[in-house]
């Protein structure tokens, strides 16, 4: 038995003016064939696939296809889309006869002329492999389409925000494939688009209670139910100006269409009824900093969701930094920035040099602002580390040449490339202790809580301009469908899921 494993991962943000190109995938780490299997055996969803397959009594051969990951950013160029499709189909061709396929996808990838990249890729894979079982994993911020649901025998989603279950989702995906391939399960999927898009800030399945906690518990309960193969709820990446935007519910059972349909209706109706519970209080930079100054001994984390690099924003916003600089601090204040030109200038000057720099508003020239500042080059370092936590398990990160700039007690960690601009590992690579800071700015809407919720005395979400705003409905969107909440006020809606009978329907 031979099982093919591959990955295509990037979360697109169409408000980001910087396109994603082939080199962005190559920077994060393209792997092909046996190299994928050896290097990803313990990392993220592919690692979950591989470790699960190794535990099957049948001991299948794991066939590496290709790993194609890029950090969240702007839409892919058409040339990049063509390259990705050719890489995946070429890898399938080279793999030879296979008995099943496991693909780790994000689910919200958009290219210039392709608003549903994963749908097109899955359809192309299906055409290539025929009735061979195909299972794909997705981020719960996927924009699931009917094409995606039809092409795959099952779609298996994360259940957690922060995304601390990526490896486990790979294991769940492999388990579903085994039930189809070995136990002869006959997948039937109920799929429902829901005309809502949820702000991600309040989504926290680690909290003691709340809407996200309730949905996670229900999804896990469903997946323990006899006859259910997979159950997922995708509250979607909000910053996609595309025609088919919306949340989704998808439930796949073993030849039990009514069970799939009823569970899908229940989840979709609950999501609709509880949509306003995802709204949250956002503070202005001035108010957030004012509250932070009242905390005398301990860490305050200021979430900057609008410039969240994990949400595809460029990472060079300085709106919160601008307010922090208005005050004197007795303990370290930590801020991050993506600015390759500033890194190069600091490298030329060397540690200890004093520079007059202009920060911000280069990558995000739509919503950003700029500040002039005199700084000292405190340290040069390489932004390399292994990420474990939100979105990563044993995940190698390389953010390129980086520098720590100091202005009084404010440290600005400047990297050449985007990456997890919230991760404790980034600050530690820079020689800084993130948990000893007075204030730390996390460029993340919710995932940062995995690292800081138990260590911070206070966490505040800040409303500043940017490419990934929490109040996205106040920004210009030209291509989304209508009506769609919260852009439009809807009073009545009921779920009517589509039923897909996999295998037999093809």
- Which DSSP string corresponds to 422-457? T-HHHHHHTT--GGG-SEEEE--SSTTHHHHTTT-S
Nearest to 345 by CA among 356, 334, 361: 356
- What is the H or E stretch that residue 380 is in? strand 371-389
- The answer to whether 174 and 181 are in contact (CB under 8 A) is no
Q: What is the dihedral of CA 49, 55, 57, 63, to 10 degrees?
A: 40
Q: For residue 162, which of 10, 388, 387, 390 has the smallest C-alpha distance? A: 390
Q: What's the chain's Rg over C-alpha atoms?
A: 22
Tens-digit pLDDT profile for residues 399-413: 999 999 999 999 999
Mean pLDDT for the chain? Answer: 97
pLDDT score for 506: 41
Note whether 265 and 497 are within 8 A (CB). yes
441 strand-pairing partners? 302
Residues 389/163, Cβ–Cβ less than 8 Å: no
Residue pair 247/196 in contact by the 8 Å Cβ criterion: yes
Percent of the chain exceeding pLDDT 70 equals 99
Judge whether 282 and 463 are in contact, CB under 8 Å.
yes
353 pLDDT exceeds 60?
yes
Residue 505 has pLDDT above 80, yes or no: no
How far is Cα 155 from Cα 264, in angstroms, rounded to an integer?
Answer: 14
Identify any residues that bridge with 135 across adjacent strands, giving them in sequence order: 102, 154
pLDDT tens figures, 43-74: 999 999 999 999 999 999 999 999 999 999 99
The tens digit of pLDDT for each residue in 7-55 reads: 999 999 999 999 999 999 999 999 999 999 999 999 999 999 999 999 9
Q: What's the pLDDT score for residue 504?
A: 56
Alpha carbon distances (Å) from 283 to 102, 201, 305: 42, 12, 12
pTM above 0.85, yes or no: yes
Which residues are within 8 A (CB) of 58 and not within 5 positions of it... i.e. 6 or more apart?
1, 182
Tokens, residue 276: 């306003």
List the strands of the sheet with 300-303, edge to edge.
Answer: 354-359, 371-389, 392-407, 410-415, 333-338, 439-442, 300-303, 458-461
Per-residue pLDDT tens over the stretch 445-457 = 999 999 999 999 9
Could you read off the pLDDT of 357-399 as tens digits, one per residue? 999 999 999 999 999 999 999 999 999 999 999 999 999 999 9
């Amino acid at each position: 038995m031979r099982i093919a494993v591959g990955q295509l991962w990037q979360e697109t943000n169409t408000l980001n003016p910087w396109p994603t190109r082939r080199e962005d995938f190559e920077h994060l780490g393209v792997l092909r064939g046996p190299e994928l299997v050896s290097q990803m055996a313990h990392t993220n969803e592919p690692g979950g696939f591989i470790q699960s397959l190794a535990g099957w009594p049948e001991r299948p051969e794991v066939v590496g296809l290709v790993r194609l990951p890029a950090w969240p950013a702007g839409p892919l160029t058409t040339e990049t889309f063509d390259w990705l499709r050719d890489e995946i189909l070429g890898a399938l061709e080279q793999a030879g006869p296979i008995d099943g396929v496991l693909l780790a996808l994000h689910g919200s990838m958009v290219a210039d002329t392709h608003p549903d990249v994963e749908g097109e890729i899955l359809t192309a894979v299906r055409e290539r492999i025929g009735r061979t079982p195909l299972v794909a994993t997705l981020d719960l911020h996927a924009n699931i389409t009917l094409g995606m649901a039809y092409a795959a025998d099952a779609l298996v989603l994360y259940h957690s925000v922060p995304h601390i279950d990526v490896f486990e989702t790979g294991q769940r995906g492999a388990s579903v494939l085994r039930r189809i391939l070995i136990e002869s399960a006959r997948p039937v999927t109920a799929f429902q688009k829901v005309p809502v898009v949820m702000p991600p800030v309040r989504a926290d399945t680690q909290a003691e209670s709340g809407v996200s906690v309730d949905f996670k518990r229900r999804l896990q309960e469903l997946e323990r139910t006899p006859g259910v193969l997979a159950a997922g709820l995708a509250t979607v990446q909000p910053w996609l100006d595309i025609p088919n935007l919306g949340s989704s519910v998808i439930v796949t059972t073993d030849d039990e269409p009514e069970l799939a349909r009823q569970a899908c209706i229940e989840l979709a109706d609950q999501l609709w009824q509880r949509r306003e519970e995802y709204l949250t209080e956002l503070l202005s930079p001035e108010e957030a900093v004012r509250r932070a100054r009242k905390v005398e001994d301990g860490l305050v984390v200021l979430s900057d969701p609008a410039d969240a690099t994990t949400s595809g924003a460029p990472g060079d916003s300085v709106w919160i930094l601008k307010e922090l600089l208005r005050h004197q601090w007795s303990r370290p204040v930590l801020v991050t920035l993506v600015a390759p030109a500033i890194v190069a200038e600091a490298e030329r000057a060397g540690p200890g040099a004093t520079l007059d720099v202009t920060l911000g508003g280069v990558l995000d020239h739509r919503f950003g602002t700029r500040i002039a500042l005199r700084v000292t080059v405190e340290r040069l370092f390489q932004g390399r580390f292994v990420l474990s936590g939100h979105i990563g398990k044993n995940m190698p990160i390389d953010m390129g040449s980086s520098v720590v700039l100091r202005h009084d007690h404010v440290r600005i960690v400047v990297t050449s490339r985007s990456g997890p601009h919230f991760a404790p590992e980034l600050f530690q690579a820079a020689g800084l202790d993130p948990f000893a800071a007075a204030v730390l700015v996390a460029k993340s809407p919710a995932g940062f809580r995995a690292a800081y919720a138990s260590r911070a005395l206070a966490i505040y979400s800040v409303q500043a301009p940017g490419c990934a705003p929490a109040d996205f409905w106040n920004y210009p969107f030209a291509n989304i469908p209508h009506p769609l909440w919260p852009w439009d006020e809807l009073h009545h809606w009921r779920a009517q899921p589509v039923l897909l009978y996999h295998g037999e329907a093809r």
